């Protein structure tokens, strides 16, 4: 980054976190991109999960712009259990909830005797093309992630295939986790695979769901993204997540599509 920060968030005590410039949204520099808050809520929920449970799905609702000011995380359990459990968390800023998340944890167990449909891995990261975002210089979130395209991208009519590598820890003083690496970038599916020019059209996801078969093993997460539009002003962005070892999961974002 042009002015590298320590992490996406700095702990400020009592479940309060201060967002750094690495959370900066491309739509409004005073707001946060949806990826870091999603990862922060998942991190908080995951810390409350019982032994042997792994996060399998998280749905995040963006209730409005997420200000780049100190935020508080609140976690509660909805459906406790030893085999499956459901929890929720809210990100509170200026006294109001700005992001709400619900996550299912599922108990791990013996390896099944089948793997399912074969998955063709993408080309390795060192064969991909480094990429910047035209017109978005000095953009905190964009600089906090390394982007290497394997196909598509802006101007490719709603498709993009890209390796991502998160450059910073989610929280200062803590090591990056596979869960954070996946969720920091998951909310970028629509922005990577825009079907219409960003300068002329808005493509806003009010919610996002990520389902994970497993966690990334290393630094790199690949996103195979596509966006489709309906005749009445809606859209759907989706992404298949993988890493060098194979398939990880899926992302889905319904979209509000409007001319600026």
Summarize pLDDT for 87-124 with one digit per residue, the tens. Answer: 999 999 999 999 999 999 999 999 999 878 889 989 99
User: Is the domain defined by 9-109+123-259 classed in CATH 2.40.160.210?
Assistant: yes
CA distance 3 to 195: 31
160 pairs with which residues across the strands? 152, 225
Question: What does residue 75 show for φ and ψ, rounded to 5 degrees?
Answer: -120, 140
User: Given this model, what pLDDT does residue 136 score?
Assistant: 62
CA distance 113 to 96: 48
**What is this structure's pTM?**
0.94
Instruction: List Cα–Cα distances, 62 to 8, 103, 116, 140, in angstroms.
Output: 18, 15, 33, 20
> Residue 141 has which token pair?
């979130």
| Statement: residue 137 has pLDDT above 90 | no
User: Given this model, what pLDDT does residue 197 score?
Assistant: 86
User: Given this model, what pLDDT does residue 135 score?
Assistant: 61
pLDDT tens digits for range 22-44: 999 887 889 999 999 999 999 99
User: Given this model, what pLDDT does residue 27 score?
Assistant: 76
| Statement: residue 2 has pLDDT above 50 | no
pLDDT band at residue 129 using 50, 70 and 90 as cut-offs:
confident
């Amino acid at each position: 980054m042009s002015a590298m920060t320590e992490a996406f968030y700095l702990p400020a005590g009592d479940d309060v976190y201060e967002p750094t410039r690495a959370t900066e949204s491309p739509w409004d520099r005073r707001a946060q991109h949806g990826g870091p808050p999603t990862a922060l809520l998942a991190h908080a929920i995951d810390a409350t999960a019982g032994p042997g449970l792994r996060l399998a799905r998280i749905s995040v609702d963006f209730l409005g712009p997420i200000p780049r000011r100190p935020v508080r995380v609140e976690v509660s359990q909805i459906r406790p259990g030893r085999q499956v459990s459901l929890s929720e968390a809210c990100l509170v800023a200026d006294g109001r909830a700005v992001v709400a998340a619900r996550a299912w944890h599922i108990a791990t167990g013996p390896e099944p005797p089948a793997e399912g449909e074969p998955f063709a891995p993408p080309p390795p990261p060192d064969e991909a093309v480094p990429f910047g975002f035209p017109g978005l210089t000095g953009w905190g979130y964009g600089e906090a992630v390394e982007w290497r395209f394997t196909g598509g991208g802006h101007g490719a009519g709603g498709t993009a295939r890209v390796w991502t590598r998160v450059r910073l820890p989610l929280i200062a003083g803590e090591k990056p986790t596979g869960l954070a690496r996946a969720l920091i970038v998951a909310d970028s599916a629509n922005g990577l695979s825009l079907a219409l020019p960003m300068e002329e059209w808005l493509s806003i996801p009010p919610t996002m769901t990520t389902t994970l078969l497993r966690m990334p093993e290393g630094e790199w997460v690949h996103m195979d993204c596509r966006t489709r539009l309906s005749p009445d002003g809606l859209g759907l962005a989706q992404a298949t997540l993988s890493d060098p070892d194979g398939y990880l999961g899926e992302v889905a974002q319904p979209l509000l599509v409007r001319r600026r």
